[in-house]
Amino acid sequence: LIDVDHSPDDPLASVNQDFYSEFGLKQAVRHLNNNGVLALWSYAGNHQLEEAMRRVFRLFDIVPITYENQHVDQSFTDWLFIGQR
């Protein structure tokens, strides 16, 4: 599970942008074992990342995680982009 940035559209550094591309994901896949799984956390959905992951991974899913933030009395939904080699 990797938490690189807030989201692909809200990176902490511009150098991270390639990570969310097909090229960057292929680089990450090289570090996985056979049938290894890569999960990316994001506070927002992202169509470009979804499409890149569909092209790179054998299996792919997006899992919404909804939770209550008791400090602001509000619910939020974050996203896990999960790909399996």
Please state the pTM of the whole predicted model. Answer: 0.86
Reported as a single tens digit per residue, the pLDDT across 13-38 is 888 888 999 999 999 999 999 999 99
With tokens 């939770």, the residue in question is 67
Reported as a single tens digit per residue, the pLDDT across 40-62 is 999 999 999 999 999 999 999 99
- Residues 31 and 74: their CA atoms lie apart, in Å, by 38
The pLDDT > 70 percentage for the chain reads 100
Beta bridge partners of 23: none
Residue 11 or 56, more confident: 56
Output the CA torsion sign for 10, 15, 21, 26. Answer: negative
